[in-house]
Amino acid sequence: MAVTLKEISRELNLSVTTVTRALYGYDDVAEGTRQRVWSLAETLGYVPDTTAQRLRKGRTDTLGFVIPTFGPRFSDPFFSEFLAALGNEAARLGFDLLVSTRAPGAEEQAAYRRLVEGRRVDGLILVRTRRHDERVQYLIERDFPFVAFGRTDLEVDYSYVDSDGEAGFRQLVEYLVGLGHQRIACLSADPELTFVAHRLTGYRAALAAHGIRPDPNLLIQADLTQRGGYEAAGRLLDRAEPPTALVCLNDLMALGAMRAAQQRGLAVGHDISVTGFDDIPLAENAHPPLTTLEQPVYDIGKRLCAMLVRLIRGESLDDAHVLLAPNLIIRESTGPVPM
């Protein structure tokens, strides 16, 4: 089918060895020979077979990324931005990107094993780490190169980049307290997710710092989706004594929460304050625009990718544990507590 070295070598009465060496610019090939090889390769449209190169070189030049998807209608701007970062940076570094989509659980674990044990990729990027992350455990155990967006509670060392969600939430809640809010609800998610746990810590710390007794009724657990935020906010707002502020674990939830509030005739930013996390592009275009904590997802993805490649190449990392402070962006979805 496709053109191989053998064909070129046969055509020119050369050995396969000489042909590769000519193509790769070794200095033990006569100038004339090199030119003949190049020109024939050109006209025949020779492109080396990637699979053969991989087998021979013992590496795939491929990075793996398993997206944790939730339900069929999976749609999260966070991931598309992150993916764009990985894709662009991987390409820049000469790596392919192999993507799987799997809901967390047994099938996800199997996907990781396929990638690692079948030697399909040279390294992996993890995202949405969990406090006791089996993926991290597994990869450490197998000594397989990986980097993660997020920390874990495991007593192991690995390379990560993470947002300081605790500091971010502390700052955010202090800002709300400063506006006079006391009944600040938190639309949380599965606290096994590390970033959820961190943000909750920050939430609690800020309340405690201001002598506000944490009300367990104001902490509610939901999905990290609009629907999750919509439903959870609905339940909170229908209480006898509803909260005056809704702190949501991410922007998607916040958008859902805003809708729930608006359906109940509340003016977001006046009657009730709502906040998110991520600063997805939609946050700015929400109505009203959403107060949120920005984390530079694209840069994080890019950085992780570069770190992983250095790991694969056996180079040393000077910045193996990066913690970035998120940036509080105040927009119109928050305001002083209503009289």
Partner DNA sequence: ATTGTAATCCAAAACGTTTTGGCTGTCAAG
Partner DNA sequence: CTTGACAGCCAAAACGTTTTGGATTACAAT
Contacts with DNA, residue ranges (CB under 7 A): 1-2, 4-6, 13-18, 20-21, 23-24, 28-31, 33, 46, 48-49, 52-53, 55-58
What are the backbone dihedrals phi and psi of residue 210, each rounded to the nearest 5 degrees, phi first?
A: -110, 15
CA distance 118 to 326: 38
Per the CB < 8 A criterion, the answer to whether 219 and 185 are in contact is yes
Choosing from 12, 93, 111, 266, the residue that interacts with a copy of itself (CB under 8 A) is 111
Place of tokens 């024939």: 40
Per-residue x/- track, 187-226, a copy of itself (CB under 8 A)? --------------------------------------xx
Contacted by 14, from a copy of itself, DNA, none: CB < 5 to 8 Å by type: DNA
CA distance 48 to 275: 52
What is the closest distance, in whole angstroms, from the C-beta atom of residue 88 to a copy of itself in the complex? 6
Q: Rounded to the nearest 5 degrees, what angle is found at the Cα of 230, between the Cα atoms of 228 and 235?
A: 95
What is the closest distance, in whole angstroms, from the C-beta atom of residue 143 to a copy of itself in the complex? 10
Q: Please report how the helices 77-92 and 297-312 are oriented relative to each other, as an axis angle in degrees rounded to 10.
A: 40
Element containing residue 205 per DSSP (H, E): helix 194-209
Contacted by 208, from DNA, a copy of itself, none: CB < 5 to 8 Å by type: none
Amino acid at 160: Y
- The region of 95-103, 152-160, 187-195, 322-330 touching a copy of itself under the rule CB under 8 A is 95-103
Write out the binding residues for a copy of itself, residues 226-285 only, by CB under 8 A: 226-227, 230, 255-256, 258-259, 262, 280-282, 284-285
What are the backbone dihedrals phi and psi of residue 190, each rounded to the nearest 5 degrees, phi first?
A: -50, 115
Sheet strands (E) in the chain: 62-68, 96-102, 123-127, 146-149, 159-163, 184-188, 219-221, 245-248, 273-275, 292-294, 321-324, 327-329
Contacted by 226, from DNA, a copy of itself, none: CB < 5 to 8 Å by type: a copy of itself
What is the closest distance, in whole angstroms, from the C-beta atom of residue 180 to a copy of itself in the complex? 25
Per the CB < 8 A criterion, the answer to whether 116 and 144 are in contact is yes
- The region of 31-39, 71-79, 214-222, 237-245 touching a copy of itself under the rule CB under 8 A is 71-79
Choosing from 91, 209, 323, 330, the residue that interacts with a copy of itself (CB under 8 A) is 91
CA distance 61 to 92: 12
What is the closest distance, in whole angstroms, from the C-beta atom of residue 111 to a copy of itself in the complex? 7
> What does the binding site for a copy of itself look like in residue numbers (CB under 8 A)?
2, 45, 47-52, 54-55, 60, 62, 67, 69, 72-77, 79-81, 83-88, 91, 96-102, 111, 117-120, 225-227, 230, 255-256, 258-259, 262, 280-282, 284-287, 289, 298
